[in-house]
Amino acid sequence: MKHVLPVAAFAFLCSLTACSDKSSTLTTGRYRAVLQTPGGELPFGLDIQPVADKEKTYTVFAVNGSERLPMDTATVQGDSLHIPIALFESELVAKIDGNTPGVATLRGVYRRNRVGLGLQTLPFEAEQGLAYRFTKDEPTTTNVSGKWATQFESKTGKVDSINAVGIFEQNGNRVTGTFLTPTGDYRYLDGNVVGDSLFLSCFDGSHLFLFKARQDAATKTMTGGFWSGVSDYESWVARFDPKAELPDPGSLTYLKPGAKTLNISLPEPDGTLVSLTDPRFKGKVTIVQLLGSWCPNCMDETKFLIPWYQKNKQRGVEVLGLAFERSPEMAVSGPKIERMKERFQIDYPIVLAGSNDKAEASKALPDLNAVLAFPTTIFIDKKGKVRHIHTGFSGPGTGKYYDQYVEEFNRLVDKLLSEPGFM
């Protein structure tokens, strides 16, 4: 559903795009930023720093918990700051307000393009010099540290078939953590406990997450709401459970009976067809990554794979990315793949495999039972046989779960490398 702005907000958006000869001075440093969502304020951090020797040009980081995520290079144009997030087809645009002595503020919009949905917008503002999330440090007797067995339910009343596990760490009234799911994690969540309620949020240019819940200490449960994107909503219930676990990620995606490998021949953005039977992969252990340029969790995995590949490729390993994009048309998605490769300096091939609709993606890989998650990682041995498929990815925001994934990843690759190849 396309989000419709109130008339006043629409007029303000139009004013931001108008030409202006008036130049404003941007105060740099840490900002407390807020998006106005249907669920209320979604706060996040912004760190804005000048680029040396480049006037009106700035480096900007989105701050969520321990993550400092770089945005694209920002510029001041007239009286407004423009922060592009090209990889996710998004941007922040705000007027610089320096009229109030001692207070530097930004007021504008977050906007993004989505295939089939058009331009989506939310009001945005930020105040310099503030570092708290939802509230300043306040005493609390509520503690949410630990593991929580969680179930999300859509507004249609349909309960998700796969549950999640909330993992939280609380220090004072500040809470950091994430939700683990079989299809990936909710990345870096940051927030506060206020009274008996938990508030968490995340903004990375693509994900817009706002969680609210009230804890019942007597039953050790939390009940609340989850707002995502511009207008999506789900309710959720969590029960404190130190033993909460997810299904084995190695059991969810598998080859159909009789299949032994992936029979694919898919194009890179320049039109070059790539197949697992190409000489590049012959006799090598190959990691096949199902990803999308639109997917922050996929970017987390990509940032792990890039240095790993550089360190290990001389051992006889290769990586191949299968990109499932919002559009299956190369004219639309090819430039996005190239932009992703340039942004992260990816030096292994990435081909366009089709649409990110999971039903369509499953048709593109008919040897699999289904495509359930982006990312999904497929391990192929020296003889070209699929040996293991890992659904989802526990990124660095999951702490020890990420460390366990890296350890298991390396152990499996070492095992496959130790095996004989073709005779």
Tokens of 242: 């130190």
In this structure, is residue 256 part of a structural domain? no
CATH code (residue 217): 2.40.128.120
Contact 255, 386 (CB under 8 A): yes
Burial of 43 (0-12, 13-18, 19+ CB in 10 A): buried
Mean pLDDT, consecutive 10-residue stretches, the chain (423 aa), reads 40 48 81 97 97 93 96 95 94 86 88 81 96 92 96 66 86 97 94 97 96 96 95 94 95 96 96 97 97 95 98 97 96 96 96 96 96 97 97 95 97 97 67
Same domain assignment for residues 284 and 403 = yes
Same domain assignment for residues 231 and 323 = no
How many domains does the chain contain in total? 3
**Type of residue numbered 56:** K
Same domain assignment for residues 287 and 412 = yes
Burial of 284 (0-12, 13-18, 19+ CB in 10 A): buried
Same domain assignment for residues 191 and 279 = no
Enumerate the β-bridge partners of residue 128. Answer: 31
Backbone phi, psi, residue 314, to 5°: -70, -10
The predicted structure's pLDDT at residue 11: 46
Residue finishing a domain among 240, 256, 291: 240
Burial of 116 (0-12, 13-18, 19+ CB in 10 A): exposed
Burial of 64 (0-12, 13-18, 19+ CB in 10 A): buried
The predicted structure's pLDDT at residue 100: 65
Same domain assignment for residues 70 and 121 = yes
Same domain assignment for residues 78 and 155 = no
Same domain assignment for residues 322 and 367 = yes
The predicted structure's pLDDT at residue 22: 60
Q: What domain range includes position 153?
A: 146-240
Same domain assignment for residues 153 and 26 = no
CATH code (residue 65): 2.40.128
Strands (E), 137-275: 146-154, 164-171, 174-181, 184-185, 189-194, 197-203, 208-216, 221-228, 232-240, 265-267, 273-275
**DSSP states along 331-355:** HHHHHHHHHHHHHHT--S-EEEEEE
Same domain assignment for residues 212 and 345 = no
Q: Which residues are CB-neighbours of 112 under 8 A, at least 6 positions away?
A: 88, 89, 90, 91, 119, 120, 206
The predicted structure's pLDDT at residue 6: 42
Same domain assignment for residues 187 and 324 = no
Residue finishing a domain among 128, 154, 174: 128
Q: Are strands 317-325 and 350-355 parallel, antiparallel or unpaired?
A: parallel
In this structure, is residue 325 part of a structural domain? yes
Same domain assignment for residues 55 and 114 = yes
Same domain assignment for residues 124 and 156 = no
The predicted structure's pLDDT at residue 24: 77
Angle, vertex CA 13, rays to CA 294 and CA 96, nearest 5: 95
CATH code (residue 343): 3.40.30.10
Q: Report the predicted TM-score, pTM, of the whole model to 2 decimal places.
A: 0.90
Residue 9 DSSP one-character state? H
Q: How far is CA 272 from the centre of its chain?
A: 29
Contact 78, 109 (CB under 8 A): no
Burial of 86 (0-12, 13-18, 19+ CB in 10 A): middle
